[in-house]
């Protein structure tokens, strides 16, 4: 079973993702801030991390950078998952080490497919 | 002397008069002498002759008869009558027979009249060689006498006594004393001379008086007035004569009045100008301040936009997501009515999202936050890509779509994403407002916007529809925000009303333009100019278009070449000419009469926006702003020097990333600025980074600046780092009482900040540390700590080796354990202090026990800091050492 870590400080956002992915066979782990995200990521070693950028304590870019600095996280997909849709946000995400980018609001119908693709890629 | 004469007009006149007088007198005297004397002598001569004739007539008879008595009597009579006259009658033997002077009788005539010339003449006469009587002035006994000789001829009545053989019997000689004639003439000459001298003196006095009175005095008044005038006194002359000098004075008065008048006017004008200048300076200062505030506001605005974007999209995520999930019946089946309602929710949510996106887009365009990345794009492929998404709608409405791209217009040089947004907006509008017929997209090389050599640079693309069309009066408004042609259409045709505004902004970013033509009820055509030449974006700093250069040159009163060739004005780099056309059909670049500035969009002057969007501003006002704000800024050409200073870190604590960005921009030449958004991390970061200075915002969420400052100042590690407050609120008293180094109220003056940081930052970099320590654990700990902190470290446990190493290694800091069993460490210290190269290196001494006074004396002045290891735990020791390092580093 693939393990997905959802990092988002907005409860509704996390719930929504969980609900969309409910019928698929994933193990979902949640983190609510940057520190939590690093701790959970290191503990659970998920296959995919959906990383919101604007999160408390340590921001998503920094979390990604720190995780990607570890050799054991090189192969784990970190997908920027953010409502920041300004030009440059995407580039910043990739620059910090993200492997993909899904902007909010998400498209409910396409979202599972996107997740599937990112999981398969690695 | 001559100067005395030549410098004064009176003296000159006087001299002239004297010369004339002298000449006249000289002539007069000459005449008197030349003509006066002969005249008088002639008179004397004539009277002599008369007397002689008279005497002769009187004595002729007695002479003939030999009546001596009568002759004597006659002569006595004459002698008594003419005292000055002596008459002598002599015979041919020169013997005086008769005379008025009885003493001379019987004497020889030439002994009586003792004169050589006379004796010659009388000899001649008596010899009978000359019969004519003669007169001559001769000197006798030192006196001038007129001597007349009348020979007495032989005549028949004398024959009876003298016979007829002799012609001359004797002579009558008349001697007249004429000395007094000469004396008279001389006296007259002296009189004349006296007169001359007198006249001379009189002339001097009179002329002097006249000159003084008539010329000198008025002239002097005039001169004085002129001198006063030259000193700036505007006084006129009141008393002046009515002659030529008077006229001169009058003229002078007129001049003074005129000058005074114009001087007054000039002064008035000067005051006026000074006031204007002041006002202008005030205005400039005001504008600069306003500009600064605008910049700050701009930063606030852009961060607001970014936040808005995030904050609005986050709830939209949940709304749209959950609605779609419900519609997908994830939580169980829905009835049709529920489904229909939910679909409405979903559609409206999407519309709201579109609105949010559009508003954000327009905000970004307006604030100049959008950058475009143009590249070569094939128009056909781009349109096909877009039209695919419209196909279902086109099919549903039964509309056709045709594409017609002329040769030369196939390839564009544009930003693909932005171009897509442009075409999606235009095509969706066309589809939205068209119910039958179709949509046509045409592209051809445009005649507009050619480069300086006349080569086309733009492609004209038209999107035509057969829809409802736009009323003529609405055509101009449709590109404005929230302006659908007819308010009622908003209801009928869903839309944000921002689409065309965004199109115009995006087209303008491409330096192109957009306009519309329409026939109400029959359809509309939207025209676009988009570049196909890369050069459109590569416009250099200066203006390359003649027309614009002309306008600017005219405004700045410089030749247009300034703007065509050289991007500087008065030595300052002018960057604002990197302009675009405003993208409006009435842009003057294309010959419209409407004044709408084409400088507007994307016009940045040294990073400052003049106007962010093609507003209705006329060019003049913008140029004015350019002049005041841009041209008055300091030279833009700055040397970018990569120095070791870059290593110096300034920690900027501000919850606003853009404020940090601004500080970074101000300081980046000299410092590496590391920003912290989260104030809770500030103290930690400060310890970690050891910045040379910290800038601190006050109004921050979670932990405000005051708390951060307190924290920084209460921690030993950070209390020495100077903290500069940069805040919108002004509470210097509190800041300084808490230990702030300085206080800047936003809007921030970058220059002052940089200057302040430089002045409080006296950090001298310690990079290389050398350790002399025998205890291995201490060395290990020190090495760890120091290397981690970024120092280059070398160590030894042997004092003798230490000297060699220190010489080669050239450390910036020495750490020496001085509690050696032997005194070799002291030897090392002594060596260092006597070495020319090494004596200035600061030293930290480590000891294991309290030093004796003697030891302290030895070390005094050589050691910066003494740390007693035995007093501290390992951790404390490191902290203590770090503090010492910092102190030595020079932080005040």
Q: Do A108 and B320 touch (CB under 8 A)?
A: yes
Structure tokens at B527: 């025209």
Domain at B9-179: CATH code: 3.30.450.20
Please state, in angstroms and rounded to a whole number, the distance separating the CA atoms of residues B578 and B559: 19
A72 inside 8 A of chain B by CB: no
Give the domain ranges of chain B.
Answer: 9-179, 372-536, 546-630, 644-760, 768-889
Q: Using an 8 Å CB-CB cutoff, list chain A residues near B309.
A: 83-86
A13 inside 8 A of chain B by CB: yes
Please state, in angstroms and rounded to a whole number, the distance separating the CA atoms of residues B132 and A96: 161
SS3 A33: coil
Between B187 and B539, name the one with better pLDDT: B187
Q: Do A105 and B320 touch (CB under 8 A)?
A: yes
Strands of the sheet with B813-817, listed across from one edge: B792-796, B768-772, B813-817, B843-847, B865-868
Q: Do A10 and B318 touch (CB under 8 A)?
A: yes
Confidence of residue B800 (pLDDT cuts 50, 70, 90): confident
The whole-number average pLDDT for the span B97-120 is 83
Between B357 and B413, name the one with better pLDDT: B413
The pTM score is 0.39
Tell me whether domains B644-760 and B768-889 share a fold: yes
pLDDT 10s digits, B122-156: 888 887 777 777 888 888 888 888 888 888 888 78
B330 inside 8 A of chain A by CB: yes
| Residue B610: pLDDT over 90 | no
* Torsional sign, CA B90, B91, B92, B96: negative
Confidence of residue B544 (pLDDT cuts 50, 70, 90): very low
Between B402 and B492, name the one with better pLDDT: B402
CA distances from A93 to A101, A104, B304, B364, B773 (A): 8, 14, 20, 20, 49
Please state, in angstroms and rounded to a whole number, the distance separating the CA atoms of residues B328 and B326: 5
Query: What does the mean pLDDT of chain B come to?
Result: 75
Q: Do A108 and B319 touch (CB under 8 A)?
A: no
| Cα B493-B497-B498 angle, rounded to 5 deg | 140
Return per-residue pLDDT of chain A as tens, 122 residues.
Answer: 889 999 998 888 888 888 888 888 889 999 998 888 988 888 888 999 999 888 888 888 888 988 888 888 888 889 998 887 665 677 888 888 888 888 888 888 888 888 888 887 65
Q: Using an 8 Å CB-CB cutoff, list chain A residues near B355.
A: none
Q: Do A84 and B324 touch (CB under 8 A)?
A: no
Structure tokens at B243: 């002659």
| Closest residue, chain B, to A23 (C-alpha) | B330
Q: Do A105 and B309 touch (CB under 8 A)?
A: no
In this structure, CATH architecture of domain B372-536? 2-Layer Sandwich (3.30)
Structure tokens at B873: 């735990």
A61 inside 8 A of chain B by CB: no
Q: What is the pLDDT of residue B887?
A: 58
Closest partner residue to A108 (CB to CB) among B311, B316, B328 is B328
| Residue B636: pLDDT over 50 | no
Between B662 and B633, name the one with better pLDDT: B662
DSSP secondary structure letter of residue B850 = P
* Chain B nearest CA to A16, separation (Å): 7
B321 inside 8 A of chain A by CB: yes
- Superfamily of domain B644-760 in the CATH hierarchy: Response regulator (3.40.50.2300)
What is the complex's ipTM, to 2 decimals? 0.72
Between B550 and B371, name the one with better pLDDT: B371
Q: What is the pLDDT of residue B763?
A: 40
Residue-wise burial string across B717-734, b where 16 or more C-beta atoms lie within 10 A, e elsewhere? bbebbbbbbbbeeebeee
Given 3.40.50.970, 1.10.3720.10, 3.40.50.2300, 3.40.50.300, which CATH number is that of A2-121?
3.40.50.2300
CB atoms within 10 A of CB B171: 23
* Chain A nearest CA to B816, separation (Å): 39
Q: What is the pLDDT of residue A102?
A: 87
Closest partner residue to A108 (CB to CB) among B310, B325, B371 is B325
Between B887 and B28, name the one with better pLDDT: B28
Closest partner residue to A19 (CB to CB) among B306, B316, B325 is B325
Q: How large is the angle between the packed helices B244-327 and B336-366, nearest 10 degrees?
A: 160
What is the Cβ-side half-sphere exposure of residue B676, based on CA atoms within 13 angstroms? 27
Between B632 and B284, name the one with better pLDDT: B284
Q: Using an 8 Å CB-CB cutoff, list chain A residues near B314.
A: 10, 13, 83, 104
**B721 closest CA partner among B753, B695, B749:** B695
pLDDT 10s digits, B712-736: 888 877 877 888 888 877 777 778 7
Bridge partners of B578, per DSSP, are: none
Domain B768-889 indexed as CATH 3.40.50.720:
no
| Cα B820-B826-B829 angle, rounded to 5 deg | 125
Q: Do B364 and A23 touch (CB under 8 A)?
A: no
Structure tokens at B868: 């007693």
């Amino acid at each position: 079973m693939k393990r997905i870590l959802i990092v988002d400080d907005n409860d509704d956002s996390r719930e929504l993702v969980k609900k969309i992915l409910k019928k698929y066979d994933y193990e979902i782990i949640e983190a609510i801030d940057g520190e939590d995200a690093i701790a959970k990521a290191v503990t659970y070693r998920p296959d995919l991390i959906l990383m919101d950028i604007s999160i408390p304590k340590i921001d998503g870019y920094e979390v990604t950078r720190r995780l990607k600095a570890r050799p054991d996280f090189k192969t784990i997909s970190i997908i920027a998952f953010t409502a920041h849709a300004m030009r440059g946000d995407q580039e910043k995400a990739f620059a910090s080490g993200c492997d993909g980018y899904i902007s909010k609001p998400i498209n409910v119908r396409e979202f599972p497919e996107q997740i599937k693709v990112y999981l398969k890629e690695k | 002397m001559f100067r005395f004469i030549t410098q004064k007009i009176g003296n000159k006149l006087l001299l002239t008069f004297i010369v004339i007088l002298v000449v006249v007198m000289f002539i007069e005297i000459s005449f008197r002498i030349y003509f006066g004397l002969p005249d008088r002598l002639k008179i004397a001569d004539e009277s002599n002759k008369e007397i002689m004739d008279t005497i002769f007539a009187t004595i002729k008879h007695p002479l003939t008869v030999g009546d001596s008595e009568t002759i004597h009597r006659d002569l006595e009579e004459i002698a008594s009558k003419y005292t000055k006259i002596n008459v002598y009658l002599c015979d041919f033997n020169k013997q005086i027979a008769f005379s008025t002077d009885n003493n001379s009788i019987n004497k020889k005539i030439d002994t009586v009249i003792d004169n050589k010339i006379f004796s010659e003449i009388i000899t001649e006469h008596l010899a009978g060689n000359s019969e004519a009587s003669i007169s001559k002035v001769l000197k006798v006994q030192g006196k001038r006498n007129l001597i007349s000789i009348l020979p007495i001829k032989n005549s028949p009545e004398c024959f009876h006594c003298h016979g007829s053989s002799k012609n001359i019997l004797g002579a009558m000689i008349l001697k007249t004393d004429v000395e007094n004639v000469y004396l008279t003439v001389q006296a007259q000459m002296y009189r004349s001379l006296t007169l001359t001298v007198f006249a001379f003196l009189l002339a001097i006095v009179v002329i002097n008086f006249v000159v003084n009175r008539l010329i000198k005095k008025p002239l002097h008044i005039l001169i004085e007035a002129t001198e006063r005038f030259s000193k700036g006194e505007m006084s006129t002359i009141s008393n002046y004569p009515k002659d030529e000098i008077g006229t001169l004075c009058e003229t002078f008065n007129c001049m003074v009045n005129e000058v005074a008048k114009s001087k007054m006017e000039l002064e008035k004008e000067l005051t006026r100008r000074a006031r204007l200048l002041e006002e202008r300076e005030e205005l400039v200062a005001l504008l600069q301040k306003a500009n600064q505030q605008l910049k700050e506001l701009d930063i606030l605005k852009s961060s607001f936009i970014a936040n808005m974007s995030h904050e609005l999209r986050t709830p939209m995520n949940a709304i749209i997501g959950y609605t779609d999930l419900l519609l997908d019946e994830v939580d169980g089946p829905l009835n049709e009515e529920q489904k229909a309602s939910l679909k409405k929710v979903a559609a409206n949510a999407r519309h709201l999202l579109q609105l949010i996106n559009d508003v954000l887009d327009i905000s970004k365009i307006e604030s100049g936050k959008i950058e475009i990345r143009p590249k070569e794009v094939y128009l056909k492929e781009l349109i096909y890509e877009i039209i695919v998404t419209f196909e279902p709608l086109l099919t549903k409405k039964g509309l056709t779509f045709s594409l017609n791209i002329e040769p030369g217009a196939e390839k564009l040089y544009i930003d693909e994403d932005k171009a897509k947004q442009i075409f999606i907006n235009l095509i969706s509008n066309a589809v939205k407002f068209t119910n039958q017929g179709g949509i046509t997209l045409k592209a051809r090389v445009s005649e507009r916007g050619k480069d300086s050599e006349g080569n086309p640079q733009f492609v004209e693309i038209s999107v035509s529809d057969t829809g409802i069309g736009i009323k003529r009066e609405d055509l101009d408004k449709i590109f404005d925000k929230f302006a659908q042609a007819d308010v009622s259409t908003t209801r009928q045709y869903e839309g944000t009303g921002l689409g065309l505004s965004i199109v115009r902004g995006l087209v303008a970013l491409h330096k192109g333009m957009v306009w519309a033509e329409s026939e109400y009820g029959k359809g509309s055509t939207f025209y676009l100019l988009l570049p196909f030449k890369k050069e459109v974006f590569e416009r250099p700093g200066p203006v390359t278009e003649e027309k614009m250069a002309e306008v600017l040159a005219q405004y700045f009163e410089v030749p247009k070449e300034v703007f065509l060739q050289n991007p500087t004005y008065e030595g300052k780099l002018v960057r604002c000419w990197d302009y675009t056309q405003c993208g409006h059909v009435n842009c003057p670049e294309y010959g419209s009469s409407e004044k709408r500035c084409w400088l507007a969009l994307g016009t940045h002057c040294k990073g400052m926006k003049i106007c962010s969007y093609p507003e209705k501003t006329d060019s003049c006002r913008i140029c004015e702003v350019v002049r005041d704000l841009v041209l008055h800024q300091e030279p833009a050409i700055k040397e970018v020097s990569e120095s070791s200073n870059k290593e110096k870190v300034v920690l900027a604590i501000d919850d606003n990333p853009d404020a940090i960005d601004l500080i970074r921009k101000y300081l980046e030449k000299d410092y590496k600025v590391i920003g912290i958004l989260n104030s809770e991390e500030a103290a930690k970061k400060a310890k970690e980074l050891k910045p040379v200075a910290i800038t601190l915002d006050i109004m921050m969420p979670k932990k405000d600046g005051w708390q951060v400052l307190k924290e920084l100042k209460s921690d030993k590690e950070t209390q020495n780092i100077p903290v500069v407050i940069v805040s919108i609120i002004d509470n210097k008293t509190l800041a300084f009482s808490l230990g702030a180094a300085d206080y800047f109220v936003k809007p921030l003056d970058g220059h002052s900040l940089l200057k302040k940081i430089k002045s409080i930052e006296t950090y001298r970099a310690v990079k290389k540390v050398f350790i002399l320590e025998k205890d291995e654990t201490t060395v290990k700990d020190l090495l760890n700590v120091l290397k981690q902190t970024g120092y280059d470290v070398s160590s030894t446990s042997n004092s003798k080796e230490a000297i060699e190493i220190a010489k080669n290694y050239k450390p910036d800091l020495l750490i020496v354990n001085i509690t050696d069993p032997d005194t070799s460490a002291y030897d090392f210290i002594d060596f260092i202090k006597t070495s020319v190269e090494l004596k200035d290196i600061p030293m930290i001494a480590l000891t294991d026990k309290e030093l004796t006074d003697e030891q302290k004396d030895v070390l005094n002045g050589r050691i910066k800091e003494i740390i007693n290891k035995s007093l501290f735990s390992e951790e404390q020791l490191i902290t203590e050492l770090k503090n010492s390092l910092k102190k030595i580093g020079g932080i005040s």
